[in-house]
Amino acid sequence: MGTCILPQNLSKRLIKELIQGKEMATKLQLMLHDHNKPLVEENIGFGSVSSSSSSAEELASKILNSFSQTLSVVTGYNNDNTINNIIHSNSSDQTSQVNPHDQASHCDDPSSDDYGAESKIKRSSHGIKDRRGCYKRRKNSQSWTTTVSTLEDGQAWRKYGQKEILNAEYPRAYFRCTRKYDQGCRATRQVQQIQDNPKLYQTTYIGEHTCKNILKPPQMIIKDSDLDNNLMNVITSTTILEEVKPIISSSITTNDTSSLSDDHHNKLSLDHHHHHHNNSDHEIINLWPSELKDLELSDPSMGLLSSSLGVSASNNDDHDIVSIMFSFGDRTINTTNCSTSGTNSHSLDMDEFVDTSIEFRSCDFEFDDNNEFCLLGSL
DNA sequence: AATATTTGACCTAG
DNA sequence: CTAGGTCAAATATT
């Protein structure tokens, strides 16, 4: 597909930014892991960040900035596969590629059912060995490798194998896109755990998603009872929203609601304030895109939108007061002083959200009696 | 029932 | 032949 023609200096800068971002994210993760957990247990839970909040915030800010810089480089030069190629150059093995076509005659479309029925019959009938058809390794596919601390990347993967790897402490897991058969998507990924406690995985993405990852109605679930756990999964990440991708450009850090200059500077953040709390009443935590799984739509290869979900809340009442702010760069959607009761989960239809909210300037939402997320104000 | 995971066999590149 | 990528039946989960 697209080949990367990125000036070397920018390429270096991009790599540098990504490395820095990764390092800082790791630090932040450790920080959260080491300091927050004990605090959560003996303390109030959501106030936990406060003890190390200054440095953590600092780190978070730097990380965001790092990704912003990265985005500005990427989106300024290529909106397609640039990032893949760049990161790929950093990848460990299965390199050598850059032969984007010739994706191994790996059963090009699922319709030409290759290894499917036919071989199944031959194998199961009499245990007769026969070739399963055209299966070949896809060593010529685009691939890139990252090191992360979670299996979650917001995409729908289906595990199809696991292997013990020579000289590797942990087995390697193989995943394919869930839409492999209904949409012929050939994206796969391999996850190699390289460390335990804290967990670290080296994730290699092979091939690009060709699917539209939007089959089920996207939903954002905010379950009060899960907030504690969610906070422990915290880290930062870059994900993509297909609909928003085309208008991403440079900076993603501004939250200024006053200016409505252009369609760029997109950032999704969600603040979940708690007001019954003693120390701080406003904390922002970046959640993994697993929390956004169902609204997350694409693959990490196609573009980047740094979407962070900030959440904090109080559980000391049967009425949680939450305030949620979505900000797409300089546009903000704010939900202040929403009152919700009970421990039900609130769902937000992200289909509608993604489609329409870009048009909003500032408006209010709340959870109604059915815990539906609804619009209060006008556009 | 549909969908996901586990796991040993199968298959290919080197 | 070996190492590692994939298949698919059995099993588990939703």
The CA–C1' separation of A248 and C5, in angstroms, is: 36
Bases of chain B with protein Cβ within 7 A: 4-14
Q: Give the C-alpha separation, A204 to A20, whole Å.
A: 20
Would you say domain A143-206 falls under CATH 2.40.10.480? no
| Cα(A17)–Cα(A63) distance, integer angstroms | 9
Highest-pLDDT range among A11-15, A162-166, A221-225, A299-303: A162-166
Residue A138: pLDDT band by 50, 70, 90 thresholds? low
Establish how many alpha carbons lie within 13 A of residue A147's alpha carbon, considering only the half-sphere containing its beta carbon: 18
Partners of A220 in the β-ladder: A348
User: Mean pLDDT highest for which of A146-150, A161-165, A236-240, A283-287?
Assistant: A161-165
Query: Coil, strand, or helix at residue A264?
Result: coil
- Residue A174: is its pLDDT beyond 80? yes
Residue A128 per-residue DSSP state:
-
Q: A130 CA, C9 C1': separation in Å?
A: 17
* Residues in chain A, overall count: 379
Residues A273-283 have pLDDT tens digits of 222 333 333 33
Which nucleotides in chain C lie closer than 7 A to a protein CB?
3-9
Q: Is the dihedral of CA A41, A346, A320, A57 positive or negative?
A: positive
SS3 A219: strand
Sign of CA dihedral A71, A364, A219, A148: positive
Residues (103-132, chain A) with CB within 7 Å of strand B atoms:
119, 123, 127, 129-132
Give the pLDDT score at A191.
95
Query: A92 beta carbon < 7 A from strand B?
Result: no
pLDDT tens column, A301-345: 332 232 323 222 223 332 222 223 333 322 322 322 222 222 232
- A165 — pLDDT class (breaks 50, 70, 90): very high
Residue A51: what residue type?
S
**Alpha-carbon gap, residue A93 to A281, rounded angstroms:** 47
Q: What is the pLDDT of residues A32-71, one digit of tens each?
A: 666 544 333 223 223 223 333 446 656 666 665 566 556 5
Q: What residue has its CA nearest to the C1' of C6?
A: A161
